[in-house]
Structure 1
């Protein structure tokens, strides 16, 4: 025979919590489906809707940001006016069109040898890079250095390193398409001024932004051509060291890419 005893309050509360009930609305239960609708005369008047303009409805851009199209146009103009890498770095320091600048500690422009035959372009600075002001100096950078050393390269002599974006996105999030579009003219000009023989895009955002590739696992390790604006150079996408730290088994794929890179460098020596 089914017991009619009242449920234990503690067990009842535990059951409510498990079911996702977080608050009680009334001591008396109501069947809202059976209640008669309120007469029209006693219904509260609906709030007056004010037709706001799109500009009023959207949150204001930070003081350092401008409209995306205007910012991209300004970026192209400033980038093309720079005739040296030092001038380009100074142009980036003066550029106010990207909101990431307002939240970043430092501009992260480059590291390594600008005259190197190999240029690596990553995604964006992380916390360590933002703090120090150089690309690939955290755990990912340490792994990258070991990867380069495995094929006889070091960043001070043989490699020039930069990022798709020179400012850290908050929380190390993936850069938005708008942020990439605004900053793209600067990294394109940086590649043009460095004029390497080989370009390697590290990670999916860099591969997509510079080479138009999607699906990094499928597109990595394949030789393409990149037009610097003055000549066409060999280019390849590879896996980001941060991804390899999370997925160590994929290092075998990165090693294949490194061997192909070493062969290409040796062939032009």
Structure 2
């Protein structure tokens, strides 16, 4: 019996497939259902070589062949990530290392690697959350409405992601390089596996001040959650001063929190002046 799917065009099929990938589907299935309870009418005939070998064994002419078990090698993804991250000596090396890292399942469901935006060697490095849908599609952190708000916030203290001058520039990176499917929270294992890359990213970018934006970034870099409690109090990350702040996406949902965000920005501005 025909259904509307029999007449689906190319672009509808493409959209349906893309939707399935976003839901986390990673393997295709056959077109026809398979009844696993069906038994074959007759046992399949052994191949001639196998039959001859079985007959020889029955006569006692050859020793039985023991099957060789293939041992599965379990890879320590967290340890491998740490090893690969340590080997990177430039930001380009690190980006390539993340792009070719195959031990995190998040990579298989993402459209793009989200690595950075802004000016490397800027005095301020902003660490955001995991990529959202827009960031995943564009391959850049802090885009869309939240990105526009972030740009306005830092412009108020004289910092701009597009500035070529490191003194007045911003360097932006996500806590995770790949978007979790359906915007779910990253698991503890995923976060632990990808944090070595983030720590190395900070080391290679070498900012004067780190801004930790959002709960996930706070967990990755300080081991603590609760950004609304932690914001506004200086931390130390990789030997550098780090200011936790609420994420621009949160500020869009909770405009009353913008007053606290402004206070945090003034703290960052004052610390930059002190470090100068």
Give the TM-score normalised by structure 1: 0.72
Match of 2:250 among 243, 247, 250: 243
2:143 corresponds in structure 1 to: 137
2:261 corresponds in structure 1 to: 254
Query: How far does residue 152 in structure 1 lie from its aligned partner after superposition?
Result: 1.2
Q: Distance in 1 between matches of 2:170 and 2:75?
A: 33
1:234 corresponds in structure 2 to: 241
Q: Distance in 2 between matches of 1:108 and 1:236?
A: 22
Match of 2:120 among 100, 114, 120: 114
For the residue of structure 2 that corresponds to 1:156, the secondary structure is coil
Give 5+ residue unaligned stretches, structure 1. 1-61
2:108 corresponds in structure 1 to: 102
Would the alpha carbon gap of residues 86 and 222 (structure 1) be closer, same or farther in structure 2, given more than 3 Å must change? same
Runs of 4+ in 1 over 6 A off after TM superposition: 66-69
Trace 1:39-54 onto structure 2 (pairs within 5 A).
none
For the residue of structure 2 that corresponds to 1:250, the secondary structure is helix
Q: Deviations over 1:91-124 (max 9, x none)?
A: 0110011111101000000011111011110111
Query: How far does residue 156 in structure 1 lie from its aligned partner after superposition?
Result: 2.2
1:195 aligns with 2:202: no
Q: Distance in 2 between matches of 1:244 and 1:225?
A: 24
For the residue of structure 1 that corresponds to 2:241, the secondary structure is strand
1:216 corresponds in structure 2 to: 227
Is the 1:68–1:182 contact (alpha carbons within 8 Å) kept by the matching residues of 2? Answer: no
Is the 1:200–1:238 contact (alpha carbons within 8 Å) kept by the matching residues of 2? Answer: yes
Query: How far does residue 174 in structure 1 lie from its aligned partner after superposition?
Result: 2.2
2:134 corresponds in structure 1 to: 128
Q: Distance in 1 between matches of 2:146 and 2:240?
A: 26
Trace 1:48-67 onto structure 2 (pairs within 5 A).
none
For the residue of structure 2 that corresponds to 1:155, the secondary structure is coil
Q: Deviations over 1:195-249 (max 9, x none)?
A: 111111100111121022322111101112222xxxx211111001111111111
For the residue of structure 2 that corresponds to 1:237, the secondary structure is strand
Give 5+ residue unaligned stretches, structure 2. 1-25, 28-71, 164-168
2:173 corresponds in structure 1 to: 162
Query: How far does residue 68 in structure 1 lie from its aligned partner after superposition?
Result: 9.2
Would the alpha carbon gap of residues 181 and 196 (structure 1) be closer, same or farther in structure 2, given more than 3 Å must change? same
Would the alpha carbon gap of residues 239 and 69 (structure 1) be closer, same or farther in structure 2, given more than 3 Å must change? farther
Could you say what the CA RMSD is over the residues aligned between the two structures, in angstroms?
2.0
Query: How far does residue 267 in structure 1 lie from its aligned partner after superposition?
Result: 1.9
Number of residue equivalences: 203
1:186 aligns with 2:193: no
1:267 aligns with 2:274: yes
Give the TM-score normalised by structure 2: 0.70
Match of 2:156 among 140, 150, 157: 150
